[in-house]
Structure 1
Amino acid sequence: MTHAPTSEPGLGGVLGLSYDELSGDRAVISWTVGPQHLQPFGIVHGGVHCAVHESAASMAAQAWLRDKGVVVGVNNNTDFLRQARVGDTLRTVATPIHRGRTSQLWEMATTNAEGKLVSRGQVRLAHLPGSPPPEFLAMLDGA
């Protein structure tokens, strides 16, 4: 299921993330680098890439799991390959590597406007008992 761009609450909102696509098979996030994303040397802080990767993986993983539990990140591994600077628009795509009974593993690729790889990563998520917020399920159902 594809969704219109939405802003994420919490850290995603602070980072200015927009979901261009969200389903149990894929998440696409776009964001424009601003001063709030930088480390002291003027490039995007690595932790921002990690946060975007975990957000993409978590949202898509929860879309796949739906109301059968909640997902939580248990490992986040990100490689930084190319600098990004203020004004650059980046696109992060998350796709599943493995989706099992108790955990999922997702891979993310973040590219710049030229399609060059800026960072890549993997996030492992565990399934815990519980229910996602009803607003999340309603969003997936197009309500």
Structure 2
Amino acid sequence: MRDAIIERVTADPYAKSLGIEIVKVEEGLAKVTMTIQEHMLNFHGAANGGVIFSLADVAFAIASNSYGQTAVGINVNINYMKAGMVGDILTATATEVSKNPKLGLYRMVVTNQHGEFIASADGMVYRKKELFG
């Protein structure tokens, strides 16, 4: 399953356009990274919140689909604590909090290369009957 997820995310046009790389995949866990580039900045000169959200969302998608059952996001809440800046290497780690046959809850934490806390998010998925892939 791990290889199928890595293959799918690596081929994902949006994740690819952001330069997101997969660092770790286990059942219920994923870690991904991305370097903030000039075109990802908002009018304050900091990383756009949508870019940070996207990084967390990719980790969320990988972790929630890691069992081989298709899982689709139904809600995500994110809290931003510190700005990401050009050249920062952000890492999002998604960890499973709770899982049952129909729903799963995941916590995503985004940090920079210095280990500083950038954002946290909680996401819920609905688990479909079909298999991933």
Please, what TM-score do these two structures have when normalized by structure 2?
Answer: 0.88
- For 1:80 and 1:132, the matched residues in 2 are separated by 31
Report how many residues are paired. Answer: 129
Match of 2:19 in 1: 16
Which stretch has the larger CA shift, 112-121 or 38-47?
38-47
Give unmatched runs, 5+ long, in structure 1: 134-143
Q: Percent identity?
A: 21
Match of 2:129 in 1: 129
The separation in 2 between residues aligned to 1:54 and 1:39, in whole angstroms, is 19
Higher strand share: 2
Which amino acid letter does the alignment assign opposite residue 52 of structure 2?
A: H
Cα separation, 1, equivalents of 2:61 and 2:51? 15
Segments of structure 2 that go 5 or more residues without pairing to the other structure are: none
Give the Cα separation in 2 of the matches to 1:74 and 1:14: 24
Contact 2:34 2:55 in 1 (8 A): no
Q: TM-score, normalised by structure 1?
A: 0.82
Instruction: Show CA shifts across 1:25-63 (max 9, x none).
Output: 311101100123221221111112222212111111111
Secondary structure of the corresponding residue to residue 130 of structure 2: coil
Q: Compute the RMSD of aligned alpha carbons.
A: 2.0
